[in-house]
Structure 1
Amino acid sequence: MKLLVATTLAFSLLTVPAEAATAPTIAWGPCSDQVLAAGGAQCGTLDVPMDPADPSSRSITLAVSRVQHKTAVSKGTVIAVADPYTGSGYQSSLLGARMAGGDSFDWVGFARRGQTPSVPALACTPPDHFAFNRPSYIATPITEPQWTARVKNYADACAANQPSLLEHMKTVDTAADMDLIRAAVGADRVSLFAQAYGTYTAEVYASRYSSRVQRMVLDTAIDPARVWYQAGNLDQDQPMQRDLELWFDFLASQDSVYHLGTTKAAVQQVWYDQLRKVSLEPADGVIGYSEWIDLFLFTAFTRQTWELLGGAFSNWVHNGDGATLRALFSQFYLVGADNTYGTLLAQMCTDAPWPASWTQWRNDTWSVFPQARDTAWGNTWFTAPCLYWHAKPGTPVAVGGTASTLLVTESLNVVASVDSSLEVRSRFPNSALVTVPGGISFANALTGNACVDGTIATFLAAGTLPTRKPGRQPDATC
């Protein structure tokens, strides 16, 4: 690993581009986005080359926001690198308001290339890809060709709508955009606050532009050695099943509220009874097998949904309330789904090669299926457009460097395991890892855990890290 870090540092020194003779600028003004405006942010745009390797290439326009420091002197600039699965990151400049002392920094958020309101915004939109009543996720002689056609159609539609942009949606392209944002806000060095899939972007930036990073916070860090066929697909299947079943345990412990059974086994029996029921006759005419899985799988990603979706599950079982299931599904999945999903795939499908054989995909999915009955096939179909993606995959970045780095993660989150954070810790020797034992939520920093949030605040303000322990282990717990 020391050899890897040394190699990465040498590579970084060779690949950091020189500063442009004239730094780009952003004309800041009022925000039309009501959330940003209410948070006191300023908004602007920045033109960047579509192909970062060719500054003369066609320009695209990034939407950028900032919240300036409210203290007499700024402690520096923090670029927030959002999880692209949760949205564009345009509103991430507001994160500083959640942190003690956050108002002493200038916080910058940006809608990464392809994501609205940056221009052009990627749009794929096959008419039925996000529709209700999709085929069952589990592959059968009937559903497998149906899903194979659907994911191929989605990849084809993305290529038809934005063929040039798709060639420049890799993480290295976003990292280049970040460095232009850094220059445009007049910062020689910036700190990074990154969450979930956004942590890989921060890892790449800190590897390629190491001299421009002051401090880096990685919340739920992605293992750079496993992007993305493993990290964004197979590695998540069993953790998702595990955390879904933790929700079953919770429902059983609250049987006086939900009346679904007093043991996990009893709740699970009700679950599978209802899955069979909606497979034959979708709830409210639209919530079938796949929609049911998608909706209730939110409970595996964040503890905050357990009561809400527990109530929806119970109301369906006891009162036949399918309208609430439909409303929740529409709220969680259908608003902005195409742009968010398309841009996420555009990154994941091209950062590194994916298996070229559907036989391998199928066999790998069936191999994990016995331990991930409710999650394996849905996750495979979610990423399967990468099998047919038209843009060529790139070469994975050698991640590692000297950046002072704080890693935080909840030990049972499904997006990236503790071992993923330990791998990143090993590649950044000036780092420390804080875990939240038993926590299942991903990207959950700055949401009220005083220990985690205080550790982040102290680190960003003063650079203070928990004492690093020897070997491959977390350095502190919260």
Structure 2
Amino acid sequence: MYSRRILRRTRTGAWLLAAALLVSGCSSEDATSAGSAAAEEPAAALAPLPRSTPASLTRYYEQKPAWRDCGVSGFQCATLKAPLDYTEPSAGDVRLAVTRKKATGPGKRLGSLLVNPGGPGGSAIGYVQAYAGIGYPADVRARYDMVAVDPRGVARSEPVECLDGPEMDAYTRTDITPDDAKETDALVAAYKKFAEGCGADAPKLLRHVSTVEAARDMDIVRAALGDRKLNFVGASYGTFLGATYAGLFPDRAGRLVLDGAMDPSLPARRLNMEQTGGFGTAFTAFAKDCVRHGDCPLGGRDTAPARAGENLKAFFDRLDARPMPTGDTDGRRLTESLATIGVIAAMYDEGAWPQLRDSLTTAMRENDGAGLLALSDSYYERDAGGGYTNLMFANAAVNCLDLPPAFDSPDQVRRALPAFEKASPVFGEGLAWASLNCAYWPVGATGEARRIEAKGAAPIVVVGTTRDPATPYRWAEALAGQLSSARLLTYEGDGHTAYGRGSACVDSAINAYLLDGTPPRKGKRCS
């Protein structure tokens, strides 16, 4: 449920991976009340696995990585194996790509630090090699081997593929706010074609790319690295992966930082709607900033955020009727769906707001959609040659396996539209329809919403940003309330995630925890 361009430089010089529910709505059973908390039964707790390793898994846990030079300065690479199906380890293997950059010193080595930037579908290897292995604080890199593994189905670890470049171009411009039966049928057909492509590419693997399986893979990686406990920094979806690991292996959880936290206990309707509200909150902050700077295409200095949102929605409606030229060499025009994604992409990082303001200005005043198309392309990880990474394919594959579909039919979406539009008048309609695609997935979900308690785990640091668009702050509060040993660190600010994004208060608190094992004091807040 998280994706934008994986490595996007922020105004502070950091890199981050953002997240999206857009094209592959995370999911669970339908609720006609659109997620009324009073109507939901509390989620059951995730049960830990036995402490002893089953004999059938011994050969995986006894692997020794054959490290080789990656061709990236200072990094080594290796391949490990994990069972395709943990319930039947003899049924075959999945290959996991791993990279590391050894601790530089000085100081006593603290072991390995695995990092995951989110997604699902983001390449952890790409992230650590491009940023974390060189951009994390020097003291952290001195004491830890920086390590990443691409989860199964992602990037270098047997990636799921669904559509080719031209097919993805068609998919991304599909109208996600259908006005009539014909447009609804076209959207459903697009979701079905996407799902069929994924199913045809990897029919066996597609049944085994869940977060629980990826967390179990991390324990095999931990053992192969020779670490007694797993130290981990996860952002966005990476918090779900890290929390799941702690829930399954609480006695092996070392120093875990979960930044931009998800709430694993939510059914999909609430999950999707609360994220929709998060984007609504972020847009309000952007609109205030835009009009305050003056010459904002959404209104003058006295324009209220609600009115700015109405102006943006009216612009989207015009694109729905007549897509805009972009100057793209492939002849692509800016559609409503592409423009919406372009705006949402900039919500993840307030450092992108000036770029968004300029892009909206050229689009709304000069009929030039190039800027918004570039933002959309960065979100989808489309390169200049028209190729796509497997980010969106893996994103859907994991999401649709982790939880049952949010909606089973277009009629269910229509009934939920008022609630989604209340959560965000600008984005609600599109995000509601985007939550439909798992209804057509070729394999059934194997997971369900669960509380994660991780009883017996060492202290775990959960980080929440108060105006985070993709992982609303309430989710960090909820996860910290579930985990038995959590400490909540609050960042009062904008943007998605907090570590490494310019707050000395946040960074010093997390660095102290990673280096000394000292979690932030209870109730610590940074701004």
Instruction: Normalising by structure 1, report the TM-score.
Output: 0.88
> Which is further off, 40-49 or 312-321?
312-321
Matching residue's letter, 1:123: E
Amino acid at match of 1:289: E
- CA distance in 1 between counterparts of 2:359 and 2:490 reads 31
Structure 1 residues 234 and 219: alpha-carbon distance in aligned structure 2, compared to 1, 3 A threshold: same
Give the CA deviation at 1:394: 1.8
Q: CA deviation at 1:189?
A: 1.0
* 2:310/2:426 contact within 8 Å kept: no
Counterparts of 1:20 and 1:421, CA distance in 2? 36
Higher mean displacement: 324-333 or 449-458: 324-333
Q: CA deviation at 1:377?
A: 2.9
Partner of 1:211: 251
Separation in 2, partners of 1:268, 1:356: 27
Higher RCO (C-alpha under 8 Å, 6+ residues apart): 2
More helix by share: 1
Cα distance change, pair 441–133 in 1 and its aligned pair in 2 (3 A): closer
Aligned partner of 1:78 among 113, 117, 121: 113
> CA-to-partner distance for each residue in 1:328-366, whole Å, 9 max, x for gaps?
433432246561112111111111223463233332233
Counterpart of 2:140?
102
User: 1:150 is aligned with what amino acid?
Assistant: A
- The one-letter code sitting in structure 2 at the alignment partner of 1:79 is L
Counterpart selection for 1:372 from 418, 424, 432: 424
Separation of aligned partners in 1, 2:403 and 2:89:
24
Offset, 1:412? 1.0
- What is the deviation of 1:305? 1.0
Task: Tell me if 1:87 matches 2:115.
Answer: no
**Is the contact between residue 218 and residue 407 of structure 1 (CA under 8 Å) also seen in structure 2?**
yes
Give yes or no for contact 2:407–2:436 (8 Å, CA) kept in 1.
no
Q: Within the alignment, does 1:313 sit opposite 2:360 as a pair? A: yes
C-alpha distance 279-392 of structure 1, shift in aligned 2 (>3 A): closer
* Aligned counterparts, 1:299-310, within 5 A: 299-310=346-357
1:29 equivalenced with 2:78 (yes/no): no
1:226-375 correspondence to structure 2 within 5 Å:
226=266, 228-231=268-271, 233-256=272-295, 260-265=299-304, 267-268=308-309, 270-284=311-325, 286-333=333-380, 334-335=382-383, 337=388, 339-355=390-406, 357-358=408-409, 359-375=411-427
Deviation sequence 1:410-451 (CA, Å, 0-9, x none): 1011222222112211222322111112x2211331222111
* CA deviation after TM superposition for structure 1 residue 327, in Å: 3.6
Shift of 1:324: 3.4
Counterpart code for 1:435: T
* Distance (Å, rounded) in 2 between the aligned partners of 1:74 and 1:467: 25
Q: Distance in 1 between matches of 2:499 and 2:96?
A: 26
Q: Does 1:476 align with 2:516?
A: no
Q: CA distance change for structure 1 residues 206 and 268 in 2, over 3 Å: closer, same or farther?
A: closer
Does the aligned pair in 2 maintain the 1:219–1:444 contact within 8 Å? yes
Counterpart of 1:417 in structure 2 is 472
Deviation at 1:116, TM superposition (A): 1.5
Paired with 1:329 and 1:355, the residues of 2 have a C-alpha distance of: 24
SS at the partner of 1:406?
strand
| Structure 2 residues without counterparts, runs of 5 or longer | 1-43, 326-331
Q: Hey, what does 1:430 align to over in structure 2?
A: 485
CA distance in 2, matches of 1:86, 1:197: 9
Determine the structure 2 residue equivalent to 1:52.
86
- CA shift, 1:113, in A, is 0.8
Counterpart CA distance in 1 for 2:229 and 2:290 is 48
Helix, strand or coil at the partner of 2:99:
strand
State the Cα distance separating 1:370 from its structure 2 match.
Answer: 3.5
Give the CA RMSD over aligned residues: 2.7
- Letter of the 1:385 partner, please give it: N
The residue identity in structure 1 corresponding to 2:244 is V
Q: Distance in 2 between matches of 1:272 and 1:299?
A: 16
Identity %: 23
Q: Deviation per CA, 1:117-155, whole angstroms, max 9, x where unpaired?
A: 222x10011753433883432232232222122112211
In the TM superposition, residue 257 of structure 1 has moved relative to its aligned partner by: 7.4
Letter paired with 1:50:
L
CA distance in 2 between counterparts of 1:159 and 1:15 reads: 35
* CA deviation after TM superposition for structure 1 residue 270, in Å: 4.5
Cα contact 1:227–1:351 (8 A) shared by 2? no
Structure 1 residues 132, 46: CA separation in 2 closer, same or farther (over 3 Å shift)? closer
Give the aligned partner of residue 159 of structure 1. 199
**Contact 2:64–2:224 (Cα < 8 Å) also in 1:** yes
Shift of 1:269: 5.5
Worse-superposed segment, 89-98 or 62-71: 89-98
Given candidates 441, 465, 469, the residue that maps to 1:389 is 441
In structure 2, what residue type is equivalent to 1:281? R
- In structure 1, distance between residues paired with 2:295 and 2:433: 37
**Contact (CA 8 Å) 2:296, 2:357: kept in 1 or not?**
no
> Measured at CA, do residues 92 and 16 of structure 1 come closer, stay the same or move farther in structure 2, by a change above 3 Å?
farther
For 1:477, the aligned partner's letter is C
Contact 2:416 2:432 in 1 (8 A): no
1:220 positional shift: 1.1
* Residues in 1 aligned to 2:317 and 2:343: alpha-carbon distance in whole angstroms: 15
Distance 1:278 1:352 in 2: 33
Match of 1:64 among 98, 123, 127: 98
Contact conserved, 2:232 with 2:256, CA < 8 A, in 1? yes
CA distance in 1, matches of 2:99, 2:209: 21
Rate the CA distance shift 1:229–1:82 in 2: closer, same or farther, 3 A: farther
Question: In the alignment, is the contact (CA less than 8 A) between 1:219 and 1:408 conserved in 2?
Answer: yes
Higher deviation after alignment, 332-341 or 400-409: 332-341
SS in 1 for 2:436: helix
Q: Distance in 2 between matches of 1:238 and 1:356?
A: 18
